């Protein structure tokens, strides 16, 4: 289901309208949650690098003792190799940590997952369907320009000033640079930082998905009481059911409860086309109820074996 963003009345609530005509709510992540997630991620990376460095010292023994003066004097070949290895690990840890996790099905780093948020593509049309490597790379490279480069520059300039060197107005320029990007999310309603604006993303709340209770466990509506008997329902193959996941199951259940004929017909045609079946006119509700029951049974069976499919992109 490709999504196009549509504003919602509440402060942080938004709605996305799918091509099937369904309106799904989402909540923009708070600025404090985003800041907390970044702090957690940086701490995880730093602690991991410290642990790696300690392990490297333990393995290399006294060989790495020369690392302190290695940048001012020609180190031995072994010490130089260890320096290069450490630089590569730092580079891969810093960029790989964010890229690998945000390109995954959850679209979130460990820090974001702890605080229940994730990144998502926004905008119109097919390009908004899911995150691409280009989008994730762009927003992460911009983070360095927004936050970490000015912080490092401020730190280096402050240390130079403390040592007696005249830095002039450079520290104030760096502070202004940092403040400009830091305050940007405060001045737009979607709390977008520069990386989100350039990459076309936003950060939304991602509560843990849970399967809704079965339709049969709730009071049946008038339309459900006249539903087609289970024996007359069509059967679906595992490949056909594997197209969708838990999120689509919940959307389908809500659609059946709302019982809007036009929406039922639209989604019936969409699902039938997606799985390669003919859409028989006038058979929308029976088809969707059968598909719902079969998809729910498959997802619950998969969960028993430790497999979960959050949505169709998983």
Per-residue pLDDT of 68-123, as tens digits, reads 544 444 456 666 777 788 889 888 998 899 988 888 777 889 999 999 898 887 76
What is the tens place of the pLDDT at every residue in 140-156? 889 888 888 888 888 88
Q: What is residue 215's predicted lDDT score, i.e. its pLDDT?
A: 45
Q: How confident is the model at residue 24 (pLDDT cuts 50, 70, 90)?
A: low
Q: What is residue 78's predicted lDDT score, i.e. its pLDDT?
A: 65
Q: What is residue 288's predicted lDDT score, i.e. its pLDDT?
A: 86
> Coil, strand or helix: which one is 15?
strand
**How far is 57 from 43, CA to CA, in rounded Å?**
21
pTM above 0.75, yes or no: no
Give the DSSP H/E element, type plus range, for residue 14. Answer: strand 13-17
Cβ atoms of 150 and 185 within 8 Å: the answer is no
Q: How confident is the model at residue 44 (pLDDT cuts 50, 70, 90)?
A: very high
- Please give the structure tokens belonging to residue 120: 């998502």
Average pLDDT, the chain: 75
Which whole-number Å values give the CA distances from 157 to 72, 167, 180, in the listed order? 21, 6, 19
User: What is the rounded average pLDDT of the residues 204-233?
Assistant: 50
Cα–Cα nearest to 215, from 173, 267, 259, 169? 259
- CA–chain centroid gap for 262, Å, is 32
Q: How confident is the model at residue 220 (pLDDT cuts 50, 70, 90)?
A: very low
User: What is the rounded average pLDDT of the residues 46-52?
Assistant: 91
- Please give the structure tokens belonging to residue 123: 């905008």
Give the DSSP H/E element, type plus range, for residue 97. Answer: helix 77-102
Cα–Cα nearest to 212, from 105, 300, 271? 300
Q: What is residue 123's predicted lDDT score, i.e. its pLDDT?
A: 60
Cβ atoms of 25 and 6 within 8 Å: the answer is no
Whether the predicted pLDDT of 195 surpasses 50: yes
Q: Which residue has the tokens 């006038």?
A: 282
Q: What is residue 241's predicted lDDT score, i.e. its pLDDT?
A: 85
């Amino acid at each position: 289901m490709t999504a196009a963003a549509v504003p919602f009345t509440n402060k942080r609530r938004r709605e996305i309208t799918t091509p099937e005509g369904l309106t799904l709510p989402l909540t923009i992540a708070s600025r404090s949650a985003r800041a907390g997630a970044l702090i957690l991620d940086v701490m995880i990376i730093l602690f991991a690098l410290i642990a790696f460095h300690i392990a490297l010292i333990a393995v290399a023994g006294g060989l790495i003792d020369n690392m302190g003066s290695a940048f001012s004097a020609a180190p031995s070949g072994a010490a130089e190799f260890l320096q290069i290895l450490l630089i590569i690990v730092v580079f891969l840890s810093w960029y790989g940590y964010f890229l690998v996790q945000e390109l995954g099905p959850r679209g979130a780093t460990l820090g974001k997952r702890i605080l229940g948020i994730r990144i998502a593509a926004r905008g119109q049309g097919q390009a908004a369907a899911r995150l691409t490597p280009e989008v994730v790379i762009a927003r992460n490279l911009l983070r360095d320009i927004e936050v970490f480069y000015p912080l490092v520059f401020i730190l280096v300039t402050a240390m130079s000033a403390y040592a007696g060197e005249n830095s002039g107005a450079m520290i104030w320029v760096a502070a202004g640079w940092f403040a400009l990007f830091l305050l940007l999310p405060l001045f737009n309603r979607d709390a977008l930082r520069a990386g989100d604006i350039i990459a076309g993303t936003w950060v939304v709340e991602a509560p843990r998905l849970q399967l809704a209770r079965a339709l049969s466990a709730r009071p049946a509506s008038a339309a459900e009481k006249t539903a087609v008997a289970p024996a007359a329902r069509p059967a679906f193959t595992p490949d056909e059911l594997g197209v969708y996941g838990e999120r689509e199951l919940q959307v389908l259940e809500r659609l059946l409860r709302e019982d809007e004929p036009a929406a039922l017909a639209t989604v019936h045609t969409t699902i039938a086309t997606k799985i390669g079946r003919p859409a028989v006119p006038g058979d929308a509700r029976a088809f969707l109820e059968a598909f719902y029951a079969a998809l729910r049974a498959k997802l619950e069976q998969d969960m028993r074996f430790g497999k979960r499919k959050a949505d169709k992109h998983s």
